[in-house]
Each structure stands twice: as structure tokens, then as C-alpha cells.
Amino acid sequence: MKTKWSSAFLRSLAFLFLVTPAFSAERTFRLLTVEINGTKFWLPSTLVVQKGDTVKIEAVTKLEGASAIHGLSIPEMKIQEVVDNKSRVFTFKADRAGVFPITCHLHPPHIPSQLVVLE
């Protein structure tokens, strides 16, 4: 008897997930520039959001001196920021689905990250 109740409960829960419409939300990420063995990149390297979400990024570098200044660019979202060791916050709307590179426009050889916007 207990198994039947649990099964019905799980089916109801699955139904709720299927009929509940996706709605946009604010997604917040904290990105850091790091250097490992002479290679610089942003961490986390992948940001995943839903189309329509408002994306809030707090970016900062943890590197010292002149190498503390880096770019954070997502051209498809019209984002191009210069970031140093003071926290910088910016917001944009993920208005189209796809996989978009996040690069340092000041130093193109840096390893790109990616923004994944799900449909």
C-alpha cells in the first residue's frame, strides 16, 4: 500500500514539473580571473541560464599588478567590461538561446569561457 501511494505521489510530482511553465529569473554568478601555469582564464568556465533570464555577473581578478586588469566580453550579449581586483557588477538579459564565448578582449590568447543559454 505504501508503495502505491509513493508511486502516485511521484507521478503527481512529475506532472507538476511537466505543466509548470518555465519563467525567467535572475541568475547571479561570481567570476574570477585566475592563472595556472601561466595561462589565464575566467572561473567558473561555463555559465548556464534559461532564455529570458536576467544574468548578473560579479567579476573580479585575483591577480597582482598589471596582470590584474582583464576584459570580460560576451559580444552576442553586447557585454564588454574591463575588470581589475575591485569587484565589478553588471547585468544583462539572456534574450536568445545558444552557446556564446566569454573572452578577454584585452588579451585574446586567454582561454575563453562560455555562456550557455537554454531555450
Shortest CB 49 distance to Cu ion, Å: 23
Residue 42 contacts Cu ion per CB under 5 A: no
Residue 65, Cα to own-chain centre: how many angstroms?
A: 27
Buried b (16+ CB within 10 A) or exposed e, 78-108: ebeeebeeeeeeeeeebeeeeebebbbbeee
Query: In the stretch 95-114, what mask flags binding to Cu ion with x, by CB under 5 A?
Result: ---------x-xx--x----
Residue 62 contacts Cu ion per CB under 5 A: no
Q: If DSSP codes are grouped into helix, strand and coil, which group holds residue 98?
A: strand
Q: Which range in 3-11, 23-31, 66-74, 83-91 contacts Cu ion by CB under 5 A? A: 66-74
Cβ closest to Cu ion, residue 35 vs residue 76: 35
Shortest CB 60 distance to Cu ion, Å: 13
Shortest CB 71 distance to Cu ion, Å: 6
CA atoms within 13 A on the CB side of 32: 8
Residues that bind Cu ion (CB under 5 A): 70, 104, 106-107, 110
